[in-house]
Amino acid sequence: MDAGECIAQECSSSDLNAAAQYFLDLCTSTSSSAPSSPRSSTASSSTVPAPSSSISSSSALSSSRAIGTSASSAASSSVSQSIAMTASPSSSTAASSATSNTTASLTSPSAANSAAPNPSASSTGTSSAMHLQPYTSHVTWVLSGMILMLISMIELFIGNVGKPSKRIAIVGGGTGGVTALKTLLVDLPEEERSRWEVVLYEQKRDVGGVWLPDLNVPRPPELPETPLYPRLMTNTPHPTMTIPHFPFRPETPLYPQHPDVQQYHVDIINHWNLSSHLRLNHEILESRWIGSSEKGQWRLLIKDRLHNETTAEEEFDHLIIANGHNHYPYEPVIEGREEWERGAHHLILHSIFYRNPEDFKARNVIVVGGGASGRDIAQQVVGFANSTYVSLKTTDFRDFPFPDIPGADFKPRIRSFKSGSIIFEDNTTLTHIDTVIFGTGYENRIPFLTDSGHLSINTTQSLDQLTTNLRYVRPLYRHLLSLDPAYPVGALYFIGLPVFVANAVSDSAQSLFTAFTIADPSLLPPRSELMNDLITQESNLRDAGFDPAYVGHRLVGEGGSEQYQDGLVKFLQERGKAGHGGVPRLGQKFTEEWRSFGRDEGALLRRGWQRVLDEGKDAIKHWLEGVVTENQWANLMRRLAEWEQGQEANEVYNGRFDGYGYL
């Protein structure tokens, strides 16, 4: 425990006031005793009140600001008087003599007695002591002022001990936000986060992000809080969806449904006792940087959605945005849409409004887009609709990473709509379609940054201001750290922007980078060096045939997500953080090999798990029984892949499987 903590814990405001009064009375008594006899001097000393002998253990933090202000005011008055007193050069010698006598009185009662004039002394001595009395009074006030200033400094120090050394706000309670919270408060060594205050704001009722279902799904144009639909299952095995060293609960199906994934977020919070840092049902309305490019704070306007929509302002040193990117639907502009939509029984909706396949019974549906939601919705609807089509960028579905959808036909992109027909890029036409579902993704919007001017929407992006073209937030170092020159490097971070990644492990790598660079800003190179890295990354994408403004935060090209994650952690390893707070030792990669295997063999594993589901509860139990640790889950995936390969080899031999799907 340091000295400041001792003071804060063992001195109350009343103790400090008593001490101040003691010193004031002591000075006053000394002043009045100067011309008195030794007997009267001794008596006067005996009446000086002693400080309280029982020191309160209550904290002085709550009253320190008020007491410090009062003490500072009194001290200022005393100093003013002392300045006035010492302004006359002619009095300096006398003042020095008086100071010496008074100091002796404060130091030792015997010294005070010896310094006092003897009654038998000559009238000259008495006259001299009386001549010094006004100066003794002035010196008393000087000492009083000094004492009060000292008390004020102590109070200020106590106040600083109680205040957080950093305040950090996280916006969003999905995978990115929960991972950032855990990394800051658990993984980062305690000595590097001393007296930090970290708060996570989530506008919904619990953590879990898109995996937390809406209680009531609104009708368009009001947007739901999540695109989650009741039958949603993960499209990747859950061991690849975890933060390091914290697997899903035992006996969780390899491809779990959404309640299991939402519960995983809750388990992280509960396991490390992080709930006190959550502010659920709190929405960030606005964020403003108050300061300069060198220093300042974020001022957040926060709405309490439970208590009468009241608002409050809070200030933070660092802002971490982890609000996800599956909320603001993107729909392509296609010629003739409005005309077609006016047709009888015609319906166009975005996948964010999709909930149940039964709603499309007896309809003729085309799903636009080949992302995860588009594929999943098509697979569900095909069992209820009269006819189902999937519109993709290419008509060759074998270029698609997932197997064919039995019962669905594939079409190229839609070129245009007519009053009763849809025309495709290959000049074919469908006239019986009555429902179009856009599974075309989402826009990168962050209203609380955009509305306050910190994130402008601009298709012509520069390096001088943080902007978004609704696909790409720029300029960011490694999709993470804002390089906007309006505030210091390290003031604003984004967790969870990358696409084509395993979210939790990617968020973990980003969170480690964020935590360590907040704790030690000297780890970060100058802004110009970070900007050059961004320019190089974008140049490499162009050389590979990709437009950075269109690709956005998709991790494409050689290396992919694993290289991205390992690169962030290697940055820390090379700067002395290897082996600390979740950072692997030098020479070790952050992304375990089994995670890469699970992602690379995702389609094979999904087919294998579906085969297990088809065999029934006993087969499921057989595969999951006794699987608890990360290594055991990794071994399960390898065993399942080998088993499924054997099953499919037999079926190919027997002519039932062609490598893409069943014949």
Q: Give the span between the Cα atoms of 598 and 596, in whole angstroms.
A: 5
- What was the pLDDT predicted at 121? 45
Per-residue tokens: 175: 């995978």
- Residue 638: its pLDDT value, please? 98
The answer to whether residue 97 scores a pLDDT higher than 90 is: no
Burial class (CB in 10 A: 0-12, 13-18, 19+), 149: middle
As given in the structure block, the two tokens for residue 64 are 């320190």
pLDDT digits (tens, 9 = 90+) for 447-498: 999 877 788 888 788 778 999 999 999 999 999 999 999 999 999 999 999 9
Is the pLDDT assigned to residue 53 strictly greater than 80?
Answer: no
Q: Which pLDDT value is given to residue 656?
A: 61
pLDDT of 246 > 70? The answer is yes
The pLDDT tens digits for 286-343 are 999 999 999 999 999 999 999 878 899 999 999 999 999 899 999 999 999 999 999 9
Which of 9-18, 21-30, 42-51, 626-635: highest mean pLDDT? 626-635
pLDDT score recorded for residue 320: 99
In which residue are the tokens 């190089």 written?
A: 536
Please say whether the beta carbons of 284 and 448 come within 8 A. Answer: yes
What is the pLDDT averaged over residues 18-39?
49
Q: Write down the pLDDT at residue 139.
A: 67
Would you state the pLDDT for residue 558? Answer: 65
Residue among 128, 11, 353, 220 at smallest CA distance from 115:
128
The percentage of the chain sitting over the pLDDT mark of 90, rounded to a whole number, equals 65
The mean pLDDT value of the chain amounts to 82
Tens of pLDDT, residues 117-157: 444 444 444 555 455 555 566 666 667 777 777 776 665 55
Q: For the ranges 200-214, 235-249, 461-475, 598-612, which has the lowest average pLDDT? A: 461-475
Report whether 38 contacts 113 (CB < 8 A): yes
Q: Go through 217-254 and write b for each residue having 16 or more CB atoms within 10 A of its CB, e for each that does not.
A: beeeeeebbbbbbeebebebbbbbbbbbeebbeeebbb
- Is pLDDT at 71 greater than 50 in this prediction? no
Phi and psi angles of residue 405, each rounded to the nearest 5 degrees, phi first: -105, 105
The C-alpha atoms of residue 494 and residue 287 are separated, in whole angstroms, by 14
Partners of 311 in beta bridges: 303
- Is residue 529 predicted with pLDDT exceeding 50? yes
Whole-number pLDDT of residue 138: 64
pTM exceeds 0.85: no
pLDDT at 338: 96
> What domains are defined for the chain?
3-162 (no CATH), 166-221+257-327+444-579 (3.50.50.60), 331-438 (3.50.50.60), 601-653 (no CATH)
Identify the band that residue 257 occupies on the pLDDT scale cut at 50, 70 and 90.
very high
Res 52 pLDDT > 50: no
Contact 199, 168 (CB under 8 A): yes
Lowest mean pLDDT among 43-47, 226-230, 487-491: 43-47
* 505 burial via Cβ count (<10 Å: 0-12, 13-18, 19+): buried
- For the record, the structure tokens of 160 come out as 């600083």
Q: How confident is the model at residue 221 (pLDDT cuts 50, 70, 90)?
A: confident
How many angstroms separate the CA atoms of 600 and 585, rounded? Answer: 26
Mean pLDDT confidence for 221-243? 95
Tokens coding 579: 């082996």
pLDDT at position 381 = 98
CA 545 vs CA 539, 541, 551, 557: distances in Å: 10, 6, 10, 9
* Tokens 């989402």 found at: 442
The CB density around residue 2, as the number of other CB atoms within 10 Å, is 8
Query: Given a cut of 80, is residue 584 above it in pLDDT?
Result: yes
pLDDT of residue 12 exceeding 60, the answer is no
pLDDT of residue 497: 97
Write down the residue that tokens 């009074």 correspond to: 137
Confidence category of residue 657, pLDDT binned at 50, 70, 90:
low
SS3 369: coil
**The pLDDT of residue 160:** 54
- Mean per-residue pLDDT for 231-251? 96
Backbone angles phi, psi at 657, to 5 degrees: -140, 135
Cα atoms in the Cβ-side hemisphere of radius 13 Å centred on 70: 9
Q: Which residue has the higher pLDDT, 395 or 605?
A: 605
Does residue 438 contact residue 391 with C-beta atoms inside 8 Å?
no
pLDDT of residue 26: 53
pLDDT per position as a tens digit, 158-193:
555 568 899 999 999 999 999 999 999 999 999 999
Give the pLDDT score at 19: 53
Looking at residue 197, the DSSP 8-state letter turns out to be E
Q: What is the average pLDDT across 577-582?
A: 95
Burial-class residue 492 by CB neighbours within 10 Å (0-12, 13-18, 19+): buried
pLDDT score of 149: 75
Mean pLDDT, rounded, for 633-653: 95
